Structure 1
Amino acid sequence: MIQQINAITPLEEARAALADAFELKFTKAVEKATQPVFDKVKDRIPEIEWPFYAPLIFEINRLKKKKNAAILAHNYQTPQIYYGVADIVGDSLQLAIEATRVEADTIVQCGVHFMAETSKMLNPEKTVLIPDSRAGCSLASSITAEDVLAMRAQYPGVPVVTYVNSSAAVKAVTDVCCTSSNALEIVEAVEGDTVLMIPDQYLAQNTAKKTKKKIITWAGACEVHETFTADDIAELRAAYPGAKIIAHPECPPEVIDNVDFAGSTSGMIDWIKTQKPPKVVMVTECSMSDNVAAETEGVSFLRGCNICPHMKRINLENVLWSLHTGTEEVTIPEELIEPARASVERMIEISTRKKH
């Protein structure tokens, strides 16, 4: 099977073209320019690998300025992307909000496809690129717009709250979106005592424990978080005595019931920075732990994570290739943009109204 740099171009072909277009060598100038990045990530990236990453970081940062592009990166991206080339970083809610404030002509989304779609629907006039459109999401692929319409027919009048981990087509038939950081807030804000909360069954079940409203859900799950079990938490406690264990609400309820704290991506970060536990295990995606560790002193981060294979499709090579070639551009059918954007904007409005 031929390896590809993205969904459309063979890897070797792309590498040859990049070698012709850029001086991808670890020169003294490149070393000096990227030293601040390496100083931040040196405990997470082996020094022997840095001569490969540094020239790519150097060229990406030059090219994005030349092309007036902004790079948005999710917390699950690798440290070399998160700290090396990203202009804006955060969880799904933070990226959705910041996408509305981007002034650059082009957005490069270092995340999965639904995130790039969200940036596009919020900025229909801008060019939005994703370095590899094969970067999908088990949650987004678990439900279709037709599924949502069927649920609406089964539960007429019940508001639909949809996790942002969903396609534009699903968002377009949704009343309001939510993220793991504002799920309870959104559920409480919609009218009625019953809510359809899709597609993550575990986020819905964990939210249901905090509200008096009846929540009807869908059998979707995140492949990173759904595999964690209560037995895993017990094993982590035995392996790391005294360590605090925190988890994402996409994990099954029996996991959430046995950890010291459960919260969204941003919630976990805030908890660690506030509580500063001597030792912590983050039951979530591995790169997030690496990224938080790189900016948190006095906390020992212990492994208890899973890797998202979709997030890891994004790498420095295809970020540079994306900027260089303008691929892969994200498009949304015209008829979906307005209704999908409206559901995201309702979420943002609810989540930010208390701050004003």
Structure 2
Amino acid sequence: LSDICCTSANAVKVVNSVQSEKVYMIPDRNLSMYVARTAKKQMEWWEGFCPTHEKLKPAEVLKAKEKHPDAVFVCHPECRPEVIDLADAVRSTSGMYVFAKETKAKTIIVGTEMGILYRLKKENPEKTFILASKSLICPNMKLITLEDVLEALQSMGRPVLKGFNSGIVKVREEIRIPAKRALDRMLEVPRD
């Protein structure tokens, strides 16, 4: 099990908080390579990746920048390094909301899953948001619907399939205790 865990929003701070000089980071190689750019650690990583962020190619970003020369490009740290190299800013999903509010740019090319656009547009109606690629759709994120959430809430604790109870997750203590320790360590890292 992990010694500590992180999100894309706090990965650099979490890695720098680790006392060891060597860090093995999983599961996303692109986030790991991004962290390695600024972390004061010797980094190794697993070759996993986010399939949606992996789809974004530099050629698509360059095409969008050419079409919108006054735009700034913000991308997620789980994008490929060659995409990150083209970015004006690299932010987690939550960081993109802050960036969109604070930037003086009126047009923003967005390099992350398309679902972010709704909130960005709603919170910043005076700005234009352009998805860097039409391929930035996460099929896994689209599996859950509001109807699914409602059904899960309404059936909590009742059997939904023979032998399964929805809303109840049981984890063996030898897994739960170290997993909680990893979460607690992450939460101890000061936030901005």
TM-score (norm 2): 0.88
What is the alpha-carbon distance in structure 2 between the residues aligned to residue 329 and residue 323 of structure 1? 8
2:154 to 319, 324, 348: 324
One-letter amino acid of the counterpart of residue 312, structure 1: K
One-letter amino acid of the counterpart of residue 143, structure 2: R
One-letter amino acid of the counterpart of residue 334, structure 1: R
Q: How many residues align?
A: 181
Post-superposition shift, 1:303?
Answer: 2.4
One-letter amino acid of the counterpart of residue 341, structure 1: K
Post-superposition shift, 1:276?
Answer: 4.0
Find the residue that maps to 1:209 and give its secondary structure: helix
2:141 to 303, 311, 321: 311
Using a 3 Å threshold, how does the CA distance of structure 1 residues 201 and 330 change in structure 2: closer, same or farther? Answer: farther
- Where in structure 2 are the equivalents of 1:233-244 lying within 5 Å? 233-244=61-72
More helix by share: 1
After superposition, give the CA deviation of every residue in 1:119-143 in whole Å (9 maximum; x if it has no partner).
Answer: xxxxxxxxxxxxxxxxxxxxxxxxx
- Where in structure 2 are the equivalents of 1:269-288 lying within 5 Å? 269-288=97-116
2:73 to 238, 245, 250: 245
Unaligned runs of 5+ in 2: 161-165
Using a 3 Å threshold, how does the CA distance of structure 1 residues 295 and 316 change in structure 2: closer, same or farther? Answer: same
1:263 equivalent to 2:91? Answer yes
- Where in structure 2 are the equivalents of 1:154-169 lying within 5 Å? none
After superposition, give the CA deviation of every residue in 1:262-321 in whole Å (9 maximum; x if it has no partner).
Answer: 111111111111114211111101111212211223111112251111111111222222
Post-superposition shift, 1:252?
Answer: 0.8
Contact 1:276 1:299 in 2 (8 A): no
1:350 to 167, 189, 192: 189
Find the residue that maps to 1:249 and give its secondary structure: coil
One-letter amino acid of the counterpart of residue 346, structure 1: R
What is the alpha-carbon distance in structure 2 between the residues aligned to residue 330 and residue 293 of structure 1? 37
TM-score (norm 1): 0.49
* Bigger CA radius of gyration: 1
Contact 1:199 1:220 in 2 (8 A): yes
- Where in structure 2 are the equivalents of 1:1-356 lying within 5 Å? 173-305=1-133, 306-326=136-156, 328-335=166-173, 336-352=175-191
What is the alpha-carbon distance in structure 1 between the residues aligned to residue 10 and residue 152 of structure 2? 32
Using a 3 Å threshold, how does the CA distance of structure 1 residues 275 and 261 change in structure 2: closer, same or farther? Answer: same
Find the residue that maps to 1:176 and give its secondary structure: coil
Contact 1:182 1:351 in 2 (8 A): no
Find the residue that maps to 1:191 and give its secondary structure: coil
Post-superposition shift, 1:218?
Answer: 0.3
Q: Which residue in 2 is equivalent to 1:162?
A: none
Aligned residues: percent identity?
35
- TM superposition outliers: structure 1 runs of 4+ over 6 Å: none
Find the residue that maps to 1:286 and give its secondary structure: coil
Find the residue that maps to 1:196 and give its secondary structure: strand
Q: Pick which of 331-340 and 184-193 moved more.
A: 331-340
Unaligned runs of 5+ in 1: 1-172
What is the alpha-carbon distance in structure 1 between the residues aligned to residue 67 and residue 118 of structure 2? 20
